[in-house]
Structure 1
């Protein structure tokens, strides 16, 4: 039995890939422990892993509405935080793990673990092309580089970079010459693919944006609901913690939830309207559902995820500034044109067969030796 120590953060869609792999490791008889923010305790507990909250982490409030500059400042503060690094080193020295797995955003903790001599894996929870491309050239990365934590340099110093993404969708999906960067495939939690639409029933669409509060997100959501009001569909809307259900004027064909597990509703849907979060997008594709993707933040991976889906023929990428008619037209196309559903089904079959959780667990076990 090996001991795996994960360090994560409360950033929404970054957690599911780590949980899927952790659950597989626990099922194989290995010991797994997480360090994370207190709000993550319940979700991590479902994997069977142990959990300890950070003692020295700065406050992280991703669902709180705030100016863009303050939001960027919060991100940089957590990504580079010496307190998280301190908690990780204290835990690792108290009982040395075989492998330390650090979320790729926690560059300060990753750098500290590598320098302390622990066998360290960077866990990438989206397309590697984003983290090795636009993210490295972003203002956030520039600030981190000044602190000696340039993303490219720190991640490449790890023993291995484990990318929890579909290698064919990832524009950077070619193994590195030194074998350091490896792909597990997308890590998804799915019970069954989408079901065939029953005769006489209206198609159901899931609308779900980010759990993080992004500027303009609530306005786009209301515009999208105004768009679907004119469509012959039934809509399930999950607002998440960033938007209050009471602030939404929902049309009669829409049912609003603060939270609803997506894997429970997706099998009954025919399409998804989202913001391009990697976790939700891959879960939709794994259910064989085409998507309309409207990115909410220019500095994050959402646009690249949307472009990858569009390039695969499994959906359409639109701007958050798109008109009500443009949104309705895009949704109508992905619902009614068979090419989108066929492409999504093909990608979904590949995601399910690749079993990213099992592959990721296997790659971590290989790292022990």
Structure 2
């Protein structure tokens, strides 16, 4: 959640991933993780029996329970004690020391500027010339950056549907008193808490609407959330607006009445092609989030490209792949590289089907070969969607190097497909900025 002022108004943005914000560059600084919000899964663990306890000495002498007492404690009792420990931990977190309380109060006072008619200094947002002032945040909740793999998935699950997350969100919104709350659509628990305050709430959708309607809400995730009273479609319907930060023409659910939202257009910024050499250039970019089995996919892609008359750059996003990824004479491997600088110089992107990478490539007029690496995400929808639109192709992630090599060669030789991708890029670049459209809709939700 981010709190800002826009003109003389204050806004709160809550997202499982700050990169989904429609107002780039507006966060003054990352909000601190606060375990008092109950979103990091902190537990008060009972210590293991000490050596003295195993010798059946008294608790007072040993500093811990005896072995007999430990074994006789029921599972229910231990869980109740853990719950009481977590409540005490939350209470201690809220009782800040004097110096921290004073600093917190100063931050609170700075974060609630007087509502005046004067112009505020800040970042210009939207066609109406509104300005935005970053406000120092007092508290924050974030659950998706708490590690990778299983740990990260558990953190995301707590943020999406944690038992106390709705109440914590409700209290945070009530305390900060924003004029509008902007929430990630895939965090139904905070979304419900914000809606319960009566504050106008806008839901952000950061990939094709078809994924949210048919897979997220219409699949197993939606049914499980529904059992907890968090059915996504029902919560989305209560929002003041639903902003889909994607292109309605490419979205299979573009204009779908079930969402009744606003397709803002992509928030990715593209550019026209730059002069390049005679050999085709290829950018390989799979997910910047760790997922099991990515290293073999990378290795097969490198092997496929090594046998073609192309030059390629592989960016791993700094992900720990669990092993070494060897380069090839015509394939360079990097951890991080600015895609905005590379895309105007490449002829093809080999990616995983992430929405951001996909739309950024298309905004530059570059076709894609998609190998979905995460079967639970939107990647399995995006690959076939691009193939149906005639601007790309998709293969399963376990495709052999020969299959990848043949697909890359076919895409580079398909002049009609490359022309369609170029036309798509020119169309996307000619549309109003999706970020500005989203900002205007958020202003409209305030009334």
2:11 alignment counterpart: 4
**Distance between the aligned counterparts of 1:211 and 1:223, measured in 2?**
18
Specify every segment of 5 or more residues in structure 1 that has no aligned partner in the other structure, as ranges: 33-48
Asked if the contact 2:126/2:439 (under 8 Å) is kept, the reply is no
Equivalent residue of 1:282, what SS? Answer: helix
The answer on 1:363 being equivalent to 2:444 is: no
TM superposition shift of 1:88: 4.2
3-state DSSP class of the match of 1:134?
Answer: helix
Which residue pairs with 2:189 in the alignment? 108
**What residue ranges of structure 2 are gaps of 5+ in the alignment?**
1-6, 27-122
Quick one: distance in 2 between partners of 1:217 and 1:238?
12
| 1:211 matched residue in structure 2 | 288
- Written as runs of structure 1 = structure 2, the 5 A alignment for 1:118-267 is 118-174=199-255, 176=257, 180-190=260-270, 192-198=271-277, 201-244=278-321, 247-267=324-344
CA deviations 1:191-250 (Å, max 9, x no partner) are x2222434xx32211101111222222211111111101111111111013235962011
Match of 2:391 among 292, 314, 317: 314
Secondary structure in 2 aligned to 1:311? helix
* Aligned counterpart, 1:31: 132
Equivalent in the alignment of 2:19 = 15
1:294-334 C-alpha deviation (Å, 9 max, x unpaired): 11122211111112211111100111121111111111122
Answer whether contact 2:126 2:440 (CA < 8 A) is retained: no
SS in 1 for 2:267: coil
TM-score (norm 1): 0.84
TM-score where L is the length of structure 2: 0.70
Q: SS of the counterpart of 1:256?
A: strand
Quick check: 1:17–1:187 contact (8 Å CA) kept in 2? no
- Does the 8 A contact of 1:194 with 1:270 survive in 2? no
Partner of 2:351: 274
Match of 1:40?
Answer: none
Number of aligned residues: 342
Alpha-carbon separation, structure 1, partners of 2:356 and 2:321 = 22
Aligned counterpart for 2:425 among listed residues 336, 348, 368: 348
Distance apart, 1:267 and its partner CA: 0.9
Give the alignment of 1:293-304 within 5 angstroms.
Answer: 293-304=370-381
Secondary structure of the corresponding residue to residue 125 of structure 2? helix
**Cα offset for 1:83?**
5.9
Q: 2:328 is paired with a residue of what secondary structure?
A: coil
Counterparts of 1:219 and 1:153, CA distance in 2: 40
Please tell me the root mean square deviation across aligned C-alpha atoms, in Å: 2.6
Alpha-carbon distance in 1 for matches of 2:124, 2:226: 35
What secondary structure, in the 3-state scheme, does the structure 2 residue paired with 1:242 have?
coil
Match of 1:339 among 410, 413, 416: 416
SS in 1 for 2:215: coil
Higher gyration radius (CA):
2
Relative distance call for 1:21 and 1:240 in structure 2 (3 A) is: closer
CA distance in 2, matches of 1:132, 1:239: 31
Cα gap change, 1:297 to 1:244, in 2 (>3 Å)? closer
Q: SS at 1:18's partner residue?
A: coil
